[in-house]
Amino acid sequence: MSDSQPAAPPTESACRAEIERLHDRFVAWFTATADEDSFADIADALASDFEMVTPDGNRVGREAVLDSIRAQYGRDDPGTFDIEIRNVDLRHATDDHATVRYEEWQETGGETRSDETTAGETTGRVSTVLFSVDSSATGDLLWVDVHETWLE
């Protein structure tokens, strides 16, 4: 594709791949299965003006989000925390942006031993993300805004 042609809007599969990629990084970070240098990969995914609305309705800016994530390195033992992404739905896409809704299911506190598996707590949220198309971002998508709402 030449520089004079406009970029194509992001596809649902590209958006799903980015959502899953970043959440896999969260799991690796929270379980300390990634080294501490990998934090840059999480930080680089968020736009400089990134903001999120938590499931409790709090607005949180990029630096506060990153400070919270950074402080939680290794909070969970490997195998006791996981995130599953479900029902990814590309709601709207242009050459510059995409709006995507998905479900994020987190399981915490479960433990697997050689003789048994204990169930942990499962929480779900529906999330809507606004991506900006940015060729310098991993996967060409930069996280601009996220809004999360609890699911029962």
Beta-bridged to residue 133, according to DSSP, are: 141
Residue 38's pLDDT band, with cuts at 50, 70 and 90, is confident
Strands (E) located in the chain:
46-53, 59-61, 81-93, 97-108, 111-112, 117-118, 121-133, 141-151
pLDDT at 107 over 90: yes
> Average of pLDDT values for 81-95?
97
Reading the block at residue 106, the tokens are 């987190």
Q: Among candidates 118, 106, 43, 115, which has minimal Cα distance to 75?
A: 106
At a CB cut-off of 8 Å and minimum separation 6, what does 113 contact? none
Query: Mean of the per-residue pLDDT values for the chain?
Result: 90
Amino acid at residue number 57: G
The confidence score (pLDDT) of residue 8 equals: 83
For 52-61, how does the pLDDT look when each residue is reduced to its tens digit (9 = 90+)?
999 999 999 9
Please say whether the beta carbons of 96 and 10 come within 8 A: no
Domain 12-151: which topology? Answer: Nuclear Transport Factor 2; Chain: A, (3.10.450)
> Average of pLDDT values for 37-54?
95
Residue 117's pLDDT band, with cuts at 50, 70 and 90, is low
Say how many CA atoms lie within 13 Å of 127 toward its Cβ.
Answer: 25
> Average of pLDDT values for 42-53?
97
pTM here is: 0.88
Residue 109's pLDDT band, with cuts at 50, 70 and 90, is confident
Residue 1's pLDDT band, with cuts at 50, 70 and 90, is very low
